Amino acid sequence: MRLGSGAFAATCVVIEVLGVALFLRGFFPAPVRSSSRAQHRAGPPAPEPLAGASSNWTKLPPPLFSKVVIMLIDALRDDFVFGSKGVKFMPYTTYLVEKGASHSFVAEAKPPTVTMPRIKALMTGSLPGFVDIIRNLNSPAVLEDNVLTQAKAAGKRIILYGDETWVKLFPEHFVEYDGTTSFFVSDYTEVDDNVTRHLDSVLQRGDWEVLILHYLGLDHIGHTSGPSSPLVGRKLSEMDSILMKTHAALLAQERGTHLPNLLVLCGDHGMSETGGHGASSMEEVNTALILISSAFERKPGDVRHPVHVQQTDLAATLAIGLGLPIPKHSVGSLLFPVVQGKAMREQLRFLHLNTVQLSKLLQENVPSYKKEPGFEQFKMSEKLHGNWIRLYLEENNSEVLFNLGTKVRRQYLDALRTLSLTLSRQVAQYNIYSMVVGTVVVLEVLALLLLSVPRALSSRAQLDVPLWSPVSSLLFYLMLLVLLAVHVTVCTSAENSCYFCSLSWLAAGGVMTLISALLCAVVSALTEMSVDAKRLRTNLGHSKSRWSELELLILLGTLGHAASLGASSFVEEEHQTWYFLVSTLCLALCHEVYRTCFLGADGEPQCCLHADGRCDSAEPALQDRNPGCDVLELGQAHKSPVSLDALRGRDRWLVLASPWLTLACCRLLRTLNQTGVQGAHRPGLGHWLTSSDHKAALSVLAALSLSVILALVQRRCSPASKVAMALGLLGVYCYRAAIGNVLFPWQQGNKDISKGIIEARFVYVFVLGILFTGTKDLLKSQVTAADFTLKTGGLWEIHSGLVLLAALLSRPHNLPVLVFSLLIQAVMTKFIWKPLRHEAAEVTVMHYWFGQAFFYFQGNSNSMATVDVSAGFVGLDTYMAVPAALLTVFATYMGPVLWASHLLTFLSSETSSGSALSRACFCYALVCSLPVSTYIILVTSLRYHLFIWSVFSPKLLYEGVRLLVTAAVCLFFTAMDPTHREP
């Protein structure tokens, strides 16, 4: 079967997506778990060392608090409470921290710093897997042991008001709840009012023991406006007044009880300087944690500074405070200041229970646990504890007893720290089998793409794909039998659960069949390459050409970028790599333009210097060449460009200046958004524009940018689409003005017109209208199969619709990024790619490079904190998972998508031959597959690296989503390519 190279590449990318999915499922594994399945029925607590069977100290200690209120403020980073903002906007909380009956902590949240895994960490004490950042969108029920499960089993009544994520994680735990959606980030008032409206009634009631209040407004303000917004101060003041009301009510209730109450103020994660979260910056991982109770009364002169602890420590502390068993999977340690006021024997009892729990978890997850320092410290502490108990039973009060007790306590605390640290390092076990299977699929696809390069990039852009010969070969069946034998052996002998082994035999057999078929295809491609090698050497021998500087730059740049992903610093600062590559590309194009104009392609003086001279036009590179040759002639891809003599006066100077103009635009864009790790904290032009003091300047810039977008896009649109584009861009400005980002000239004060729902939907109507017009033209061109103008017009309409959607989802200060993207596309098209007649493969790689650079020009990075979640809720008044996910992905990858869309439009408009589209699709798939395949190998070898979860894992998720976007792009290319339907 003869298949176009575009269709072949699209198929390969789809298969590669399957391989990457398998690898991700194995790479992001299950966290440390206890082997015990009796989650709802805790076993008897560990007895006190040397305590008799009749002693009361063999039982679980009684609770320390009567009621517990957990007030969780989403995105409450530590400096919002302990910094200048706390002093200014939270005076009551500041008083409690400095002089009140409280203990303050800075709780470190481990990545990923998103809500669902952080709630799990707070309640289970375990460290959720990094893949929970994806599961955060659809939180499954928590199956492991946790504080709420133990509290419910003990008969305690739990009430929840706030984020509905709690209801999804703990679906049958609450006797009363009122959940609010956490993903509609445009709302930061009603989402909190729905929690506060229950406070007055519930605080007067006595029919509960645990009350959870989860406030989302602060997090939503961060997503929409950032931490520097004046809305943050007002929200902190609101939270301070709610804390004061709650604390006063708890103190009033204590008068009729013999136990004090506990109020916990905490955050699930922090907030980056751009307002997002999900990564591992200090602003994202450091959260405020304050425990408030009358049991923590201070003595005169008692100064308590916030102490750094782990967020997972709260689960063990709440369990002890409520008189419950510590969750089996908890890797946290008891916050000792909570029990510091108790008698020495009680203190040691609490510490002993915690160390016993951690030592059991260590034994179940570390085979050589006896050699671990924490276990040795635990055994020593337990021995000393037994000696202290013996001495205590002999004499109650003596200095020797106190000194020994102090020593035992110190030993326990050291053992807790060591055990907790050891278990945190053992947080996950990689599923190597799934990783290997996924890696094999990805590498086979890459090998197949690389071996197919000569024929895929030939003039015909077609490959002979034998469908039955690999399946009917002996190698295929031998390989399949070996793989099935390996699968049975691994799955029957695996000690831990394996995802790939959990698949049905039909699904696993299908994957094994696919691997065997791919291997046979690779062997077949190698055979064909050896047969064609002689012909290829003959072509090279007759050819005097050599690789051009541009071709060498593209090759070395692509390989160099893939190799750079093995260093954490290069991953963190990947934007610098792309900035360097596009800048070097501009200089290389400048060299080519000047050489072509003044010397000619062969180094001789070019006739374009003479006003009356003419040169013979070279063969267009984007059309088919040498139809009789099926093998790519290396070094012949870059043909001599057409004479620049046809460009006179201003046009010729624009050709000479266009690389410098492109370089200047890229340099200006670098100042707009500071990204990466090293420079993210530096104030950029975007920070200046988004501050409330410069809203007028931002408004003028947004209006000017939208006008330029209209001027650049409408030139090739139909009359109806021109009107729709103009009205749509006007709607974009109205939407931003409605939500308060920019100003109307006639707007008075700061009162918002609306929440922007109507304005955004108004724009969506025009987006869908333009896309529908383009799709109609494309379908009509497919039917007639002869109207070339109709097809190119339809593609431009679709490109225009995507531009309008990008303008709607972009924040106002990022609209210049869209303007410069369109401007560079127009300049490069008219003054570089058309006059110099670059080969389709070169144009494809240049589009890919610029798309990657504009991904970072938007302010994106390889950190999850830079994902603009608010873009997924533009125009939505309720949370809808699929539209929100699609809009968020498009807003994040709009740079690569728009450049890929322009590539398709440019190639279709320059030649009616489908072979250019086929070669472009193949090149796009290849340059996307190379870094993904390389990175999978590098991540596997670096899986025990210090920065594996903070640096390499987020990048892996970005690569996975980018490959999915690439698959969609390649499929669209193939649909527009007429050659894939040829028999």
pLDDT higher than 50, residue 752: no
| Residue 708 pLDDT grade (very low, low, confident, very high; cuts 50, 70, 90) | very high
pLDDT (average), residues 58-71: 91
Query: How confident is the model at residue 243, as a pLDDT?
Result: 97
Least reliable range by pLDDT among 499-508, 570-579, 855-864: 499-508
| Residue 544 pLDDT grade (very low, low, confident, very high; cuts 50, 70, 90) | very low
**Average pLDDT of the chain, as a whole number:** 84
Query: How confident is the model at residue 653, as a pLDDT?
Result: 81
**Using CB atoms within 10 A of its CB, is residue 250 exposed (0-12), middle (13-18) or buried (19+)?**
buried
Q: Where are the alpha helices (DSSP H) in 757-893?
A: 757-784, 788-809, 815-828, 834-836, 840-857, 881-892
Query: How confident is the model at residue 635, as a pLDDT?
Result: 37
pLDDT (average), residues 921-940: 94
Share of the chain above pLDDT 90, in %: 49
Query: How confident is the model at residue 139, as a pLDDT?
Result: 55
pLDDT (average), residues 349-359: 94
Residue 895 CB: number of other CB atoms within 10 A?
Answer: 22
Angle at 748 between CA 744 and CA 754, to 5 degrees: 65
Least reliable range by pLDDT among 129-133, 430-434, 665-669, 922-926: 129-133
| Residue 863 pLDDT grade (very low, low, confident, very high; cuts 50, 70, 90) | confident
Residues 983 and 980: their CA atoms lie apart, in Å, by 8
Please state, in angstroms and as integers, the Cα–Cα distance from residue 916 to each residue in 551, 554, 786, following that order: 17, 18, 17
User: Is 651 or 929 the better-scoring residue by pLDDT?
Assistant: 929
> What are 306-329's pLDDT values in tens digits?
999 999 999 999 999 999 999 998
> What are 614-623's pLDDT values in tens digits?
444 333 344 4
> What are 622-678's pLDDT values in tens digits?
444 343 344 443 333 444 444 455 556 677 788 888 999 999 999 999 988 888 777
pLDDT (average), residues 945-956: 82
Query: Helix, strand, or coil here: 579?
Result: helix
Least reliable range by pLDDT among 133-137, 200-204, 292-296, 605-609: 605-609
pLDDT higher than 70, residue 847: yes
Query: How confident is the model at residue 130, as a pLDDT?
Result: 61
Query: Helix, strand, or coil here: 12?
Result: helix
> What are 155-192's pLDDT values in tens digits?
999 999 998 889 988 988 999 999 887 656 667 888 89
| Residue 38 pLDDT grade (very low, low, confident, very high; cuts 50, 70, 90) | very low
pLDDT (average), residues 919-925: 93
> What are 364-377's pLDDT values in tens digits?
877 778 888 889 99
Supply 423's token pair: 């278990």
Please tell me the number of Cα atoms within 13 Å of 7 on its side-chain side.
19
User: Is 127 or 849 the better-scoring residue by pLDDT?
Assistant: 849
pLDDT higher than 90, residue 280: no
pLDDT higher than 60, residue 135: no
Least reliable range by pLDDT among 452-461, 482-491, 571-580, 637-646: 637-646
Residues 598 and 761: their CA atoms lie apart, in Å, by 53
Structural Rg of the chain based on CA atoms: 32
Q: Where are the alpha helices (DSSP H) in 99-229?
A: 115-124, 132-135, 147-153, 165-169, 190-196, 199-204, 217-225
The segment with the largest mean pLDDT, out of 55-69, 547-561, 597-611, is 547-561
User: Is 537 or 542 the better-scoring residue by pLDDT?
Assistant: 537
pLDDT higher than 70, residue 392: yes
Query: How confident is the model at residue 137, as a pLDDT?
Result: 53
Share of the chain above pLDDT 70, in %: 85
pLDDT (average), residues 763-774: 94
pLDDT (average), residues 681-710: 87
Helix 5-27 × helix 505-542 angle, to 10°: 130
Supply 573's token pair: 């600062």
The model's pTM: 0.76
Torsion of CA 120, 122, 128, 130, to 10 degrees: 100
Write the DSSP string, 925-957: HHHHHHHHHHHHHHHHHTTTSTTIIIIIHHHHH
User: Is 380 or 978 the better-scoring residue by pLDDT?
Assistant: 380
| Residue 466 pLDDT grade (very low, low, confident, very high; cuts 50, 70, 90) | low
